[in-house]
Structure 1
Amino acid sequence: MKEVTNPVSASPAITPAQFVERMERGAASAAAAGLDGLLIAPGPDLAYFADYLPIATTERITLLVIPAVGEPTMVVPLLEHDSATATRAAGAFGIVDWADGTDEYVPTAALLERSGRYAISDAAWAMHLLALQQKLPEARFESISRALPMLRAVKGDDEIDRLAAAGAAADATFEDILSVRFAGRRETEVAADLARLLREHGHSQVDFTVVGSGPNGANPHHEAGERTIEDGDMVVLDFGGIMDGYGSDTTRTVHVGDPTDEEHDVFEAVKRAQQTAFDAVAVGVACQEVDRAARAVIADAGYGEFFIHRVGHGIGMTTHEPPYMVEGEEQPILPGMCFSIEPGIYLPGRFGVRIEDIVVATEHGAQRLNNTSRELHIVR
């Protein structure tokens, strides 16, 4: 894989040949895992394999069947036939449609082995999976993220380019937010500024804008609320969304006015932990070792009990996906994996600190896709 340089906001379109390659790789992965195929439901998996995001009429089944051996086929409602055949990937799979008033599960069941073993998208609706199980009582269905957790985890150069561009847009958002007034404004107002800036810098979708001021910063997933930010507050800013089909996710912690010695020491511990975890990334190293590296630094600083979440998660077409940098995850890091490194310390009722970058694993270690300063920024 190539090194990431000068990310741009507009990446070339994914070609039909690339979708074919993705489906071929999916079929090979299924075969290697002893599966008879993959069942790809609407959501990020279907967008990844077939460039298709149908209208969310969840009561009608849409399913791409990628057999371990044979040609992929998409089952679609008749009224969506034209949409399914208009995607860039349409020539890579056959189409079977069904009409309202007929048994919609018959066409799908006909494509499956009676006693086959299939991995199905986590986004599939239970009503459809249960109906297929009734049609094929001897078949076995498994969560795709359990059976093939690395299916979308290793990113191609085109995907890394998009992630880099999304990361650069999030960085530009952070640089701009530093000039916004914090003191005397509600968290929701700063969150609205973050959302506006993400869109101005090219995001089509804003997924989250965490603004945790003072004691609210001790909640890692705090929803921006009506608390007024005060002078002397530590403020955790965690924000991201989707740009050109791929996600951004970054966290920086700022301080309104000068920090206390304790606040400075906590911040420095988190910064050291983040750098240590970054340095631990290497091809072949188990994912859990990245978590362990950060956790050891924070424990040595005396704050081990206040680091209450894993150190990272994969990112791609969704902001949380495999691989996960967490204790117990022995999956080795592979070139092209993209994930967050985001240690934090959270002191209940007082304040929190988190620093987060998205990184890509390369043959030479990790490369950051977020490049704003990791120093403690003083805001007004």
Structure 2
Amino acid sequence: MTVQVFERAEYEGRVERTKERMREAGIETLFVTDPANMNYLSGYDGWSFYVHQGLVVSLDHDQPVWIGRGMDENGAKATVWIDHENLHAYSDDHVHSPVGKHPMDAVARVIEGMGREDTHIGVEMDASYYTAKSHQRLQEKLPEATFSDATLLVGWVRIKKSDAEIGLIEQATELSEAAMRAGIDAIGPGVPESTVAAEIYYTLIEGTGEFGGDYPAIVPLMPSGEHTGTPHLTWSDEPFEEGDPVIIELAGCRHRYHSPLARTAVVGDVPEEMQRVAGVVVEGLNAALDAAEPGVTCEAVERAWRETIAKHGIEKEDRIGYSMGLGYPPDWGEHTASLRPGDETVLEEGMTFHMIPGIWTDDLGVEISESFRVTATGAERFSSFPQRVFSV
């Protein structure tokens, strides 16, 4: 059964906008290896990114060309919108090869077959799955080509979402809210952290009754106890104790589109200082949301947060948000615009962000985040989950 998430016309529009950016950058051929960018342009969806794969976009070809492992070709046929004649699979002896082969040998052969071996080729040099070995091998096999870094080229095409994409993020939000509620409800004295994580995962995948969920690009993050000032810890099998705080950051995922959400809870009564810090976070968060609208820069949104919390004697140097949406492990962020000083990206209608202005100190951590979209008149939260620290 073929599974295509969007209409063919939407994919074709994405490819054409990508080609426009290629022309602006002087790039004639683009080799895409980021799984999210591959999905965005072709629809390809499979857990195959642990081996080398890619998509070739050429100014002289109407459709992208998929290149992947032989056993993944049927997965491509099941998910992509492009004609099957544009699918090229390499043999399994290219994978962790004992005979000196490499998947980039096959990529080079495909590019040569397309007549693109002496063109200006853009590659995603900072993509998680495009290795130094891959780049070296591709250069060796295509000596007449000129290579340049095109890591964020597709990312800047992706930053504005269509109505259909927004619809998937809204569905992902339903999953996020259900999983957050399940996680908070599961916390209690004597309950292992792993049990809470299991309830979150179950809910994220089980779904709403109307639709199910996909695996998120990042696992649920659950720093607890004395480690709530360390935002990227996961969970252990240790039981919660009375007085333990815990931060939950998660994201529902629907057809690879995410809606991140973070909240903080305490087993028992919420300490007075945590209540105070949480109030500052919520005030600053909403001040930043109020500042977000078309024509405003990312740094101006962050400034609204920073100036608000400064009134309470709190400073935060980290960015407070980033563009997000379609993603595969290890990240649901798009690596383009960030809500931080110095980022002069101008907000436009259809952009989507995760704003996570957490406060982390040596003594405590508080996270209360919101995913939002930029509308014609301002910023609109995806979630309506209560903005507070929960006592459980």
What TM-score comes out, normalization by structure 2 length?
A: 0.83
Q: CA separation in 2, counterparts of 1:333 and 1:18?
A: 22
| Contact 2:251–2:261 (8 Å) recurs in 1 | yes
| Contact 1:72–1:93 (8 Å) recurs in 2 | no
The alpha-carbon distance between structure 1 residues 198 and 95, as it changes in their structure 2 partners (threshold 3 A), is closer
Q: Indicate the residue corresponding to 1:33 in structure 2.
A: 25
Deviations 1:164-194 (CA, angstroms, capped at 9, x unpaired): 1101211122233343242233333322222
Q: Give the letter aligned to residue 338 of structure 2.
A: Y
Q: CA separation in 2, counterparts of 1:226 and 1:113?
A: 53
Q: Indicate the residue corresponding to 1:66 in structure 2.
A: 57
Q: CA separation in 1, counterparts of 2:378 and 2:153?
A: 27
What secondary structure does 2:186 align onto?
coil
1:358 Cα offset (Å):
0.7
Q: Give the letter aligned to residue 256 of structure 1.
A: V
The runs of 5 or more residues in structure 1 that have no matched partner are 1-10
Q: Indicate the residue corresponding to 1:153 in structure 2.
A: 159
Q: Give the letter aligned to residue 330 of structure 1.
A: E
Q: How does 1:249-288 map to 2 (within 5 A)?
A: 249-288=260-299
Q: Indicate the residue corresponding to 1:45 in structure 2.
A: 37
The alpha-carbon distance between structure 1 residues 271 and 107, as it changes in their structure 2 partners (threshold 3 A), is same
The alpha-carbon distance between structure 1 residues 357 and 73, as it changes in their structure 2 partners (threshold 3 A), is closer
Q: Indicate the residue corresponding to 2:194 in structure 1.
A: 188
| Contact 2:65–2:88 (8 Å) recurs in 1 | yes
What secondary structure does 1:45 align onto?
helix
The alpha-carbon distance between structure 1 residues 83 and 256, as it changes in their structure 2 partners (threshold 3 A), is closer
1:167 lines up with 2:173 in the alignment: yes
1:316 lines up with 2:325 in the alignment: yes
Q: Give the letter aligned to residue 283 of structure 1.
A: P
Q: Indicate the residue corresponding to 1:107 in structure 2.
A: 110
1:110 Cα offset (Å):
4.6
1:317 Cα offset (Å):
1.5
1:218 lines up with 2:229 in the alignment: yes
Deviations 1:272-322 (CA, angstroms, capped at 9, x unpaired): 111111111111211122222222222332221xx3531012221211113
1:334 Cα offset (Å):
1.4
The alpha-carbon distance between structure 1 residues 139 and 298, as it changes in their structure 2 partners (threshold 3 A), is farther
1:51 Cα offset (Å):
1.3
Q: Indicate the residue corresponding to 2:370 in structure 1.
A: 357
Q: Which has the higher contact order (CA 8 A, sep 6+)?
A: 1
Q: CA separation in 2, counterparts of 1:47 and 1:147?
A: 15
How many residue pairs get matched?
A: 365
The partner residue of 2:12 within 20, 31, 38 is 20
Q: Give the letter aligned to residue 296 of structure 1.
A: E
Q: How does 1:361-380 map to 2 (within 5 A)?
A: 361-379=374-392
Q: More deviation in 34-43 or 327-336?
A: 34-43
The partner residue of 1:328 within 342, 348, 364 is 342
What TM-score comes out, normalization by structure 1 length?
A: 0.85
| Contact 1:290–1:325 (8 Å) recurs in 2 | yes
Q: CA separation in 2, counterparts of 1:12 and 1:119?
A: 26
The partner residue of 2:185 within 172, 179, 187 is 179
1:83 Cα offset (Å):
4.8
Q: More deviation in 188-197 or 101-110?
A: 101-110
1:12 Cα offset (Å):
8.8
What secondary structure does 1:198 align onto?
helix
The partner residue of 1:116 within 104, 120, 135 is 120
The runs of 5 or more residues in structure 2 that have no matched partner are 94-100
Q: CA separation in 1, counterparts of 2:185 and 2:68?
A: 51
**Identity in percent:** 25
1:203 lines up with 2:194 in the alignment: no
Q: Give the letter aligned to residue 360 of structure 2.
A: Y
The partner residue of 2:355 within 307, 327, 341 is 341
Deviations 1:3-38 (CA, angstroms, capped at 9, x unpaired): xxxxxxxx9931222211211111112112332232
1:130 Cα offset (Å):
2.0
Q: More deviation in 230-239 or 351-360?
A: 230-239
Q: CA separation in 2, counterparts of 1:237 and 1:62?
A: 33
| Contact 2:189–2:241 (8 Å) recurs in 1 | yes
| Contact 1:253–1:376 (8 Å) recurs in 2 | yes
Q: Indicate the residue corresponding to 1:5 in structure 2.
A: none
1:325 Cα offset (Å):
1.6
Q: CA separation in 2, counterparts of 1:86 and 1:179?
A: 39
The alpha-carbon distance between structure 1 residues 84 and 342, as it changes in their structure 2 partners (threshold 3 A), is closer
1:366 Cα offset (Å):
0.7
